[in-house]
Amino acid sequence: MNRRTPIGVELVKRGVVKEIDIETALEYQKQHPDKKIGDILNILNLCPQKELIEAMGEILGENVIILNSDDVKIKEEDYLPLDVCKACKAILFEVIGRRAKVCFADTSNNKSIEEVRSILLKHGFIMEKFLTFQTNIETVIKSLESKEDATISSSGDVTKLVDTIIRSAMEKRASDIHVEPLENSVRVRYRVDGELITVANIEKSKQAQLIGRIKAISNMHQEKQDAQDGAISTYEDYNIRVASQRTIDGEKFCLRLLKKNEGIRSIFDLGFPSDEGMLKKCFDKRNSITIIAAPTGQGKTTTLYSILDYLNRPEINITTVEDPVEIRVPGINQIEIDEKSTFASSLRSILRNDPDIILLGEIRDGESAEIAIQAGQTGHYVLSTIHTINAIEVITRLRKMGISDYDISSTLATSVSQRLVRRVCPHCAVKRAFSKQEKDLINKFGEKYNVKFDFTNKHTYDTKGCKECNHTGYLERIAVYEVLELTDEIKDLVVTGSSSLKIRELALEQGYKPLVIDAFQKVLDGITTVEEVNNRLALY
């Protein structure tokens, strides 16, 4: 067949449908442009299903099936995540030996087909492709969703429903729960290891009760629909922060799960380079400030606590100002910001209480930055965080907050930037040799930053996916770091107002290594993968 010939014309030629049927289908398509002619003919019942799908299979040269829920003979989530099924309009309906039978609504969509094929190959299966109607795919997906939602949505009253959502998130190690009203349902998603996964779609009729219950246990105003904050403290092992946001389909909620009494991990366990000398040089300071820089959700606070744990000794007075206090540490004075106080006002109070080390949860504005600088200049060691893309841009950020070049150069001792990358799942990862492309990419960055990577006896992994890692191939995260020590030469550049570009050039000459170097070292150590590093650092 000439591939450019419309399928409708071919169906008419074969006598499967009439020209008037195609005209009717085309009119329908004007109102439903996402539907293909074959699917429309089926929706409008203009031709027997079996005759239509078989004719389409002959025309397109594809195996075909009329898919029903009963035809799905495997547990879909053991092989393909439901989000992939929805995005690719595909259903895996049978596995025989190492062959996996998958039907698609569109067998011309090479991107979707290759995505599914790749996932199945990681599981060790060869894909056998079939064509079916899109409506069949959608029906089966709804059936699978209803089964997936059963644990949550079938939870009797709304009190049990909300409790099940929260407890299920805890079991899956979620850091956040998103409850999102959509046009026809309420979507529930969990953020696990930095990735959002859809876990349920709850019927729209339950939305008002669901919102009311979340507000009630979060101590939020029931009548207020504008953005507000709350907290849930009824779960023994967790503090839960709640934030709401008004959307066109109703109020959205984000629940941040903070585990209580979680032990502080060593800075080395978090991923900091295993060099005691470097650690002491970076963080065991006086009369200065150390700043941890990263976007939101990249583990800055966890790193701060690990540094505090390293520095904490009976003869040292440590005080923190946080919003909120996320981890309680015996022997440390911890202050929580409330409506009557700010970081700046709390810092002023702390300075009158003889601290040695001050942890400021975040430098948010010029006022808090100025007081932190003053504290560092008057004999204290200050630890804090700031939102920037790398360690060098900390200087630029402080400048924009109104801090003078002299104050920055005289007080800022170290800036550290970090990102979180996912670890390969130890339960399902498949060891393999590095490809030429992977080696070339790693060596390219090594040459750029004057680092020689050693591939001797090194290997990487294919991320297969299993129940333990929610079929992602990754389990938990580790930080990758870059450290900028403000040497006398760099301080000279800062005090004279030099650009961040010039500061970066000098830092590189003095041994500063960007995030990507530590990230690739962790790839060589078998902790993460080139693919994951690229996803987090956007290498290409």
Alpha-helical regions (H) of 341-392:
343-350, 366-377
The beta-carbon contacts of 300-305 under 8 Å, at least 24 apart in sequence, are: 300/385, 300/418, 301/326, 301/361, 301/385, 302/265, 302/270, 303/267, 303/270, 303/272, 303/416, 303/418, 303/479, 304/359, 304/383, 304/384, 304/385, 305/264, 305/329
Q: Is residue 121 part of a domain?
A: no
Examine the domain organization and report whether 307 and 433 are in the same domain. Answer: yes
Q: Does 358 fall in a domain?
A: yes
Helix, coil or strand: residue 252: strand
Residues 334 and 393 placed together within one structural domain of the fold: yes
CA contacts within 13 A on the Cβ side of 414: 22
Residue 101: inside a domain, yes or no? Answer: no
At residue 534, the pLDDT reads 92
Pairing of strands 381-386, 288-293: parallel
- What local confidence, expressed as pLDDT, does residue 477 receive? 95
Can you read off the two tokens belonging to residue 123?
Answer: 């599981």
User: Is there a single domain that holds both residue 297 and residue 249?
Assistant: no
Q: Which of 500, 507, 505 is nearest to 486 (CA)?
A: 507
C-alpha dist (Å) from residue 47 to 15, 80, 187: 11, 32, 36
Q: DSSP class of residue 70?
A: G
Q: What is the pLDDT of residue 149?
A: 55
Same domain, residue pair 238 and 290? no
Indicate whether 161 and 27 sit together in one domain: no
Distance (Å, whole) CA 45 – CA 516: 57
Q: Which of 101, 43, 51 lies closest to 71, judged by CA? A: 101
Q: Running DSSP on this structure, what letter comes out for residue 505?
A: H
Same domain, 441 and 393: yes
The reported pLDDT for the residue numbered 8 is: 87
pLDDT at 464: 80
Domain count, the chain: 3
Whether residue 115 is contained in a domain is answered as: no
Evaluate whether residue 116 is within a structural domain.
no
At 186, which helix (H) or strand (E)? strand 185-192
What pLDDT digit, counting tens, does each position of 48-74 carry?
889 999 999 999 999 999 988 777 877
In this prediction, residue 146 carries a pLDDT of 64
Name residues of the chain where pLDDT drops below 70. 1-4, 77, 145-156, 261, 540
Same domain, 295 and 321: yes
Looking at the domain assignment, is residue 81 inside a domain? no
Total residues found in the chain within this entry: 540
CATH code at 340? 3.40.50.300
Identify the pLDDT of residue 2: 45
Which structural domain, as residue segments, surrounds residue 15?
1-61
Q: Are residues 487 and 349 in the same domain?
A: yes
Whether pTM exceeds 0.75? no
Residue the block writes with tokens 């939602």: 149
